[in-house]
A = this chain, B = another copy of it.
Amino acid sequence: MTKAPKSAEQEVLNANLEFYRALQNLDLAKMEALWVQEEIATCLHPGWELLIGWEDVGGSWASIFKSPQQMRITISRPLAVVHGDVAWVNCIENITTLYEGGFSTASVEAVNIFLQREGKWLLVHHHAAPLPDHVPANTSRSIQ
């Protein structure tokens, strides 16, 4: 018995989940392995300017992971489009950050572009736009 092959969309959605898992776990080695480590890599963290090229993109993750904040990230409404060996995923990042005495939540609308390299889907662009007035249902913005 062989497993049914995963659809390309499912593979890309899995790679997308791996990205958020690496982010939540502050796992730098995993994060680095998920990217196309070339000049075409670009990354927009919320509120930052665009980072261009793997040197800056990889450096930003190293810097972010050095000041760890405990956070939980869940993804909603993931939408994958696959076009040959390029794909992109639109999804909402629901981020809960824990701090002394409470937590805060934020919602971010993200698009992640992937290239398929040797059978693996690797990130080449991450673009995160804060959703300023979006509060997920049943969630307070902060609790003290």
Contact = CB atoms under 8 A, between A and B. Distances in A.
Contacts of A130: 129-130
A46 B129 contact: yes
A52 B81 contact: no
Interface stretch (A12-20, A23-31, A65-73, A84-92): A84-92
Interface residues of A, number: 32
A79 B111 contact: no
Interface stretch (A56-64, A94-102, A131-139): A131-139
Q: How often does this chain occur in the complex, in copies?
A: 2
Nearest to A111: B127
B134 A49 contact: yes
A50 interface: yes
A46 B109 CA distance: 10
Contact of A83 (B47, B115, B128): B115
Given A79-B42, A83-B86, A109-B44, A129 B129 contact: yes
Interface of A: 40, 42, 44, 46-47, 49-50, 52, 77, 79, 81, 83-86, 88, 90, 92, 109, 111, 113, 115, 124-125, 127-134
